[in-house]
């Protein structure tokens, strides 16, 4: 039986599926290898980006989106590499919602075009020319963090000669982001702090980040007011609500399964009927577990 027909059959036969099928939508999760391949295949990726494709994968998986092409941070940024609205409009030519539905290759093509432009900045050239910065090598991770958090902000860091020369509103430094890209602790536990990647020194305006930063000309939004009033970002609250909702759904499914067991124990269900309900409940609980890992 084809999957749509199977789901339709479940919905007719068991109330358990009526609870869960409308609730869970699995995100489009890609692997580091997928991102590396997309960079290598992108006509917009510079030779430097292709040579550092693994660093791009580190940025996407470990910092920006955990590989979720449908990701939205609750304030400004979308997709596997968290491009902001202005750059999606300029480099992808679509709305943010349409961008989230694009394939990995399409998202990478837009991000690569943006980042290749930013790489032509004198700020990036100056950073590369240093070889080492504040006692650490200038590698692909540090350069991408420079671009992602904004080349204007990167210039501030370079001028200070210290990694601490710039930190966003979350306390994330460019060096801290680079550390997180390779699995280090970094400075901030969730998402990046800017919308970097802008091509003009002195501005951010680019690919990634979980919140707007003061250096980026962002119009006042509900996010800022919400954050000040509650002390939490809208993205974090959204994740909390989603987790609670999934947990409540799991409890409902578990309760329904317990009711089925009691009916079976009292002789109200045949063995094959009980087995069918148990299988359905097991599959639904598996879907819940998967959804909780990508929430």
Q: Assess contact for 223 and 174: CB atoms under 8 A.
A: no
- Looking at the predicted structure, is the pLDDT value of residue 26 above 50? no
Taking the C-alpha atoms of residue 2 and residue 218, their distance in angstroms, rounded to an integer, is 48
Q: Say if residue 12's pLDDT is above 60.
A: no
Between 48 and 221, the more confident residue is 48
Q: Is 97 left (phi over 0), alpha (psi -120 to 50) or beta?
A: alpha
pLDDT at 166 over 70: yes
**91, burial (CB in 10 Å: exposed 0-12, middle 13-18, buried 19+):** buried
**DSSP 8-state symbol, 167:** B
Report the pLDDT value the prediction gives residue 199, as an integer from 0 to 100: 43
Flag whether pLDDT at 156 surpasses 80: yes
Three-class secondary structure of residue 175 per DSSP = helix
SS3 assignment, position 42 = coil
- Asked whether residue 162 carries a pLDDT value surpassing 80, the answer given is yes
Structure tokens belonging to residue 31: 């692997």
Q: Give the pLDDT of residue 19.
A: 45
Pairwise pLDDT comparison (225 vs 276), residue with the higher score: 276
Least confident of 78-92, 114-128, 274-288: 274-288
What value does the mean pLDDT take over residues 231-254? 73
């Amino acid at each position: 039986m084809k999957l749509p027909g199977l789901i339709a059959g479940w919905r007719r036969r068991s109330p358990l599926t009526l609870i869960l099928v409308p609730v869970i939508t699995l995100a489009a999760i890609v692997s580091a290898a997928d991102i590396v391949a997309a960079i290598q295949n992108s006509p917009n990726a510079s030779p430097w980006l292709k040579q550092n494709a693994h660093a791009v994968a580190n940025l996407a998986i470990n910092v920006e989106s955990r590989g979720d092409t449908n990701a939205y941070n609750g304030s400004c940024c979308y997709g596997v590499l968290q491009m902001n609205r202005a750059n999606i409009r300029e480099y992808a030519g679509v709305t943010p919602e349409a961008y989230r539905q694009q394939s990995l290759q399409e998202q990478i093509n837009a991000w690569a075009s943006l980042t290749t432009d930013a790489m032509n900045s004198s700020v990036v050239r100056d950073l590369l020319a240093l070889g080492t910065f504040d006692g650490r090598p200038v590698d692909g991770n540090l350069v991408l963090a420079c671009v992602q958090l904004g080349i204007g902000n990167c210039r501030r860091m370079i001028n200070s000669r210290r990694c601490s020369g710039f930190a966003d509103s979350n306390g994330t430094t460019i060096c801290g982001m680079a550390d997180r890209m390779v699995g280090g602790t970094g400075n901030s536990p969730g998402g990046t702090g800017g919308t970097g990647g802008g091509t003009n020194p002195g501005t951010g305006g680019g690919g990634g980040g979980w919140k707007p930063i003061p250096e980026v000309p962002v119009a006042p939004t509900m996010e800022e007011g919400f954050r000040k009033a509650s002390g939490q970002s809208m993205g974090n609250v959204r994740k909390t609500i989603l987790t609670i909702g999934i947990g409540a759904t799991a409890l409902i499914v578990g309760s329904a399964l317990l009711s089925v067991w009691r009916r079976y124990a009292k002789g109200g269900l045949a063995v094959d009927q009980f087995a069918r309900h148990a299988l359905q409940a097991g599959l639904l609980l598996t879907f819940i577990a998967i959804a909780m890992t990508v929430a």
